[in-house]
């Protein structure tokens, strides 16, 4: 199968892991970090997808590749929807703001729902030495507010904001943040000022252990190289990653968990020349 030439002729790659909870191939390992878990999922999905490609698809050389393993995609039974909480966290790696809406739409389509119960956004990457500010966050928050107004998301939240920045966002935003994640790797105890502010304005403080760089360009390219050895991996860069989970409300049990990511070629494809 000419998977390598397909990738070299495509512009966009969407990768969906499906429900990781049913993946026997990942149960042998216990990833120590979310970045390792994500890379394991990317490799496994790429390997299985490339092994099942049809000659027709390879000949067509589509500009957009949908990399997924159909049996792993698990939609929510509509009759059980009210019993489930659907949460997602979005890591925006590129500068395209429309990716926020696109990622939410893909998550809804994958899970067979019309609305996410919550969506948390990780702060966008900044240049070294530049501190995150309200000005950095505002364009992304505008997009999240649009999702709430369009009833695609019920509640929106943030990640890794200290008390001053969370307060600035809260006072400015039309749709207020309902949650803020705190990385316990950098903060073993919740800062008292953050705790007091969150309690006063009914903002839920959550914990997480995601690294700042969940998926580096180099790590993604290496995963591509391992799965599809002959493609020009240096052309590809991840744009966004969405991690979702489906939890049974009454029992607190994770029924489904998975990743969706978008990657783009950094140079024009052969088809667009």
> Which tens digit of pLDDT belongs to each residue from 75-125?
999 999 999 999 999 999 977 888 999 999 999 999 999 999 999 999 877
Put residue 124 in one of left, alpha, beta given phi > 0 → left and psi -120 to 50 → alpha.
Answer: beta
SS3 36: helix
Checking if the pLDDT of 267 tops 70, the result is no
225 located within any domain: yes
Q: In angstroms, how far is the first alpha carbon of the chain from the final one?
A: 24
Label the pairing between strands 236-248 and 64-68: unpaired
263 located within any domain: yes
Listed residue (123, 140, 132, 118) closest to 203, CA to CA: 118
Label the pairing between strands 64-68 and 153-159: unpaired
For the segment 243-270, the average pLDDT, to the nearest whole number, is 88
In order, the DSSP letters of 230-248 are TS-GGGEEEEEEEEEEEEE
Q: What is the pLDDT of residue 270?
A: 47
Strand partners, 208: 183
Q: What is the pLDDT of residue 94?
A: 79
| Other residues' Cβ atoms within 10 Å of the Cβ of residue 230 | 12
273 located within any domain: no
Listed residue (238, 227, 228, 237) closest to 260, CA to CA: 238
For the segment 151-164, the average pLDDT, to the nearest whole number, is 96
pTM to 2 decimal places: 0.91
203's enclosing H/E stretch is none
174 located within any domain: yes
Q: What is the pLDDT of residue 273?
A: 45
What band does 26 get if pLDDT is binned at 50, 70 and 90? low
DSSP summary character for residue 72: G
Listed residue (90, 253, 217, 210) closest to 157, CA to CA: 90
Listed residue (49, 59, 44) closest to 258, CA to CA: 44
Task: Specify the number of domains making up the chain.
Answer: 1
Determine the Cα angle at 205 with ends 200 and 210, to 5°: 155
Domain span at 24: 3-268
């Amino acid at each position: 199968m000419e998977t390598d030439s397909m990738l070299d002729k495509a512009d966009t790659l969407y990768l969906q892991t499906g429900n990781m909870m049913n993946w026997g191939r990942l149960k042998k390992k216990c990833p120590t970090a979310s970045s390792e878990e994500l890379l394991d999922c990317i490799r496994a999905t790429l390997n299985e997808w490339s092994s099942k490609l049809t000659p027709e698809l390879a000949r067509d050389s589509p500009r957009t590749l949908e990399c997924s393993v159909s049996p792993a995609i698990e939609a929510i039974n509509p009759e059980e929807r009210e019993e489930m909480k659907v949460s997602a966290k979005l890591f925006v790696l590129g500068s395209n703001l429309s990716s926020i809406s696109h990622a939410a739409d893909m998550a809804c389509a994958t899970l067979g729902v019309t609305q996410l119960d919550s969506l948390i956004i990780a702060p966008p990457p900044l240049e070294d030495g530049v501190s995150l500010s309200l000005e950095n966050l505002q364009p992304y928050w505008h997009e999240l507010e649009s999702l709430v107004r369009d009833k695609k998301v019920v509640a929106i939240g943030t990640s890794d904001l200290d008390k001053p920045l969370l307060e600035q966002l809260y006072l400015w935003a039309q749709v207020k943040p309902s949650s803020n994640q705190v990385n316990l790797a950098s903060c073993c105890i919740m800062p008292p000022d953050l705790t007091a502010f969150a309690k006063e304005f009914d903002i839920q403080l959550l914990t997480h252990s995601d690294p700042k760089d969940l998926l580096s360009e180099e790590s993604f390219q290496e995963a591509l190289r391992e799965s599809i050895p002959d493609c020009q991996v240096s052309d590809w860069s991840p744009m966004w990653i969405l991690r979702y989970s489906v939890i049974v409300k009454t029992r607190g049990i994770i029924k489904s968990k998975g990743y969706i990511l978008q990657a783009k070629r950094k140079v024009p494809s052969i088809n667009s020349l």
